[in-house]
Structure 1
């Protein structure tokens, strides 16, 4: 099985939802899309966008649930704005899209977040063009200012002391999840999709089969993570005392009982609160892994491979940073 059961079920749902639109003749497809836009029917427009992602998007029915959710949220926000400003969805004015960008920035949104909202609104218009409802492409030429502050500065990694304090008080599942993000550098979606066969504590490696862009990779385990795997497997793995006990919402082959990112977030937030540490999400754990590893190996390429980044620039901008005085030892003898 190359992807998790949860992902397969979602793909089926996306395909089924798309048929509501793709089963229509072109004329009827266009008529319904025009009607949805004219009536500002948000539910129908979001359904149309999902159908477009399933059939016209780059990843088709394999589009990740989180991508769909992000596009839906962004499209809803644009539709709300368009309604408030009385913008014609099918015949927007040539300044309307840039006006939306300006409104987001004026409301205090960061440029990176605005870019995501623009991408979602642009996807909505691709869906309308796909349905033949309009030729408008208002977000094609919009400009969003660049944020020159590196991502790792805006959203820094957790510190060694912060992680140690949380690990001291976290329960077994939360502690194990923290090791996977902060040592193996896994994305939360990658961690929650793990199955028992993906963990090889003897060889000290994790097999990630549901990475971003559906890329598979092998990730090395730290010594601490390998110990955490052995302890976790002894309790929750096949044959362990906790494997079949209690209520679980995930298949038995899955490592975690957390059925969603929201559930995982809830349990991690409890552990962080108990430790008196501010929970800033899962990514600061990945940034801790990137920064600590870079200071040891001083090789952005190797760190990028560990984190599953396709581009070293992604690692350099947002996930790993050398100390300001990193070269002081090399320069000592000058």
Structure 2
């Protein structure tokens, strides 16, 4: 579906600079001016305008605030675009949706063959849009509050298990210096991809064998230990005279660039079918650490999880983990 360009008189203009400045450009309006713009955007079902409104809300008034990750923003943007397209195709009144329309929307996602986790993400995006519309004073509607959403009964560790050790070793051995460092930041240090791409040289303490994750999820900082293999990779990267020894570790910062480079590496090894993105590397680190310390609380701190229950979904336990424990039962 072709998106219509916004008209100058009513459009919520998308600021090309930083997100906080964009949020201020909307939040700084009078209550009535913001309400009118939001109502107009909802009436016209203008995706770009509704996205600008949601982004301003997320950046200025939501719990995640300005620290919302690029991955979260990409997911919300995609979900809102698809939701607005659905609203256009089914003649929704966004500000006064029908009582049964939200349930039918969720049902349509399931009929389209989307997995429960994807449906959850799509509904989360639409919910964020309605929070933004309420923030702007355009509506009181909260249409997805009572809508039942499908639950995935398959554990995440089964759907997306950690990488196997031989795959990690093969990738690390064949990688270029910067790719090797990136792989080990996830598979040995347990960093999220956004955290890994944000590491700077001043965060690296090679003598102390510690790495500062300065801006983790929720903008929380943490210190993580570095393996000998990771320290060696960073020393190799530091020894590349074409790179500066200050500022960011990597010359690339985009998620897509990192993905394409590691995907290409797996293809060169003939193991492209084993490459499943970045999260499986982080799960590999959590599983390795749990095998060594047998303590979910310590692994949670290592991975930057607030809740230990989250960490349990990152650790793959061997099927015979209880064999020795029950062997000598009376």
Query: Does structure 1 retain, via aligned residues, the 8 Å contact 2:202–2:246?
Result: no
Question: Structure 2 stretches of 5 or more lacking a match?
Answer: 1-14
Q: State the 1:47 CA deviation.
A: 0.9
**Equivalent residue runs for 1:64-103 within 5 Å:** 64-103=69-108
Is 2:251 the partner of 1:257? yes
Q: State the 1:87 CA deviation.
A: 1.3
Q: Distance in 1 between matches of 2:24 and 2:293?
A: 50
Is 2:153 the partner of 1:148? yes
Query: Does structure 2 retain, via aligned residues, the 8 Å contact 1:304–1:310?
Result: yes
- Residues 275-300 of structure 1, C-alpha deviation per residue, up to 9 Å, x if partnerless? 12232100000111111221222111
Is 2:329 the partner of 1:330? no
Q: Distance in 2 between matches of 1:62 and 1:152?
A: 27
**Equivalent residue runs for 1:306-317 within 5 Å:** 306-317=302-313
Query: Does structure 1 retain, via aligned residues, the 8 Å contact 2:201–2:246?
Result: no
- Residues 122-169 of structure 1, C-alpha deviation per residue, up to 9 Å, x if partnerless? 110111111121111101111112212110100111101111221222
Q: State the 1:115 CA deviation.
A: 1.3
Question: Structure 1 stretches of 5 or more lacking a match?
Answer: 1-9, 236-240, 245-250
Query: Does structure 2 retain, via aligned residues, the 8 Å contact 1:169–1:274?
Result: no
**Equivalent residue runs for 1:90-129 within 5 Å:** 90-129=95-134
Q: Distance in 2 between matches of 1:44 and 1:53?
A: 14
Moved more, 65-74 or 169-178: 65-74
Is 2:242 the partner of 1:266? no
Q: Distance in 2 between matches of 1:273 and 1:80?
A: 36
Where does residue 7 of structure 1 map in the other structure? none
Where does residue 201 of structure 2 map in the other structure? 196
Q: Distance in 1 between matches of 2:246 and 2:205?
A: 18
Q: Which runs of 4+ in 1 moved over 6 A?
A: none
Query: Does structure 2 retain, via aligned residues, the 8 Å contact 1:208–1:217?
Result: yes
Where does residue 234 of structure 1 map in the other structure? 239
Q: State the 1:28 CA deviation.
A: 2.1
Q: Distance in 2 between matches of 1:70 and 1:94?
A: 26
1:124 counterpart SS class = helix
Q: State the 1:101 CA deviation.
A: 1.1
